[in-house]
């Protein structure tokens, strides 16, 4: 008897779902635009948190913006995978007193994935014999939406717009 009732409920639910009118192209476009706007807002909040954590010298907090299997690929050093490794990598590159600025240029969203492209600058204070400098470059990040944690960084890489050291001379015997 119970299995008959359960089967009847399943058939009723399937019938109700089948009778639901299909989403029109306009409704689909409106829904997708709302999802993209929501994603952009969440990703911009994540970027603002990254800047705040960097400028307040809390590099370990940056790892909270990542998925558990997230990947960070900074320039000139090996990448890191997973929150503990990302924390360690961000601590190693942290310079107290530095000021980070990030400007997102474009965020493309196709739920549950988003790609953010932008530019950054990092002003480093004078330290001892080293004068103050400002670095700048571009970045590309891949964000992923998880039902439990919202939008989190899956992968990020960035590079510098100018070289930090002189180019290497050509190898002897090569042209």
Res 22: pLDDT: 87
In the structure, what pLDDT confidence band is assigned to residue 40 with cuts at 50, 70 and 90?
A: very high
Q: Mean pLDDT, to the nearest integer, of 21-31?
A: 88
Name the pTM for this structure: 0.78
Burial of 32-42, coded b for 16+ CB within 10 Å and e otherwise, reads: eeeebeebbeb
- Is a pLDDT exceeding 70 seen at residue 174? no
Residue 169, φ and ψ in degrees, nearest 5: -65, 155
Nearest-5° Cα angle at 79, 74 to 82:
115
Res 23: pLDDT: 87
* 59-67 LR contacts (CB < 8 Å, sep 24+): 59/87, 59/90, 59/91, 59/93, 59/94, 60/87, 60/90, 60/91, 62/86, 62/87, 62/90, 63/87, 63/90, 65/152, 65/153, 66/152, 66/153, 66/154, 67/144, 67/146, 67/149, 67/152, 67/153, 67/154
In the structure, what pLDDT confidence band is assigned to residue 127 with cuts at 50, 70 and 90?
A: confident
In the structure, what pLDDT confidence band is assigned to residue 53 with cuts at 50, 70 and 90?
A: very high
d(CA 90, CA 95): 10
> Could you tell me where the DSSP H helices lie in the chain?
2-19, 25-55, 59-62, 83-92
Res 105: pLDDT: 96
Q: Mean pLDDT, to the nearest integer, of 66-77?
A: 95
């Amino acid at each position: 008897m119970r299995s008959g009732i359960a089967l009847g409920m399943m058939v009723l639910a399937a019938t109700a779902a089948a009778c639901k009118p299909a989403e029109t192209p306009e409704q689909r476009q409106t829904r997708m635009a709302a999802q993209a706007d929501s994603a952009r807002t969440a990703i911009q909040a994540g970027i603002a948190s990254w800047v705040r954590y960097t400028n307040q010298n809390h590099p370990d907090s940056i790892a909270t913006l990542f998925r558990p299997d997230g990947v960070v690929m900074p320039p000139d050093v090996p990448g890191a995978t997973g929150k503990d490794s990302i924390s360690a990598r961000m601590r190693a590159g942290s310079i107290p007193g530095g000021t980070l600025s990030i400007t997102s240029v474009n965020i493309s969203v196709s739920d549950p994935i988003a790609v953010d492209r932008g530019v950054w600058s990092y002003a480093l204070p004078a330290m001892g014999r080293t004068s103050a400098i400002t670095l700048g470059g571009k970045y590309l990040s891949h964000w992923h939406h998880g039902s439990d944690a919202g939008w989190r960084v899956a992968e990020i890489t960035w590079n510098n717009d100018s070289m930090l050291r002189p180019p290497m001379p050509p190898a002897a015997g090569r042209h």
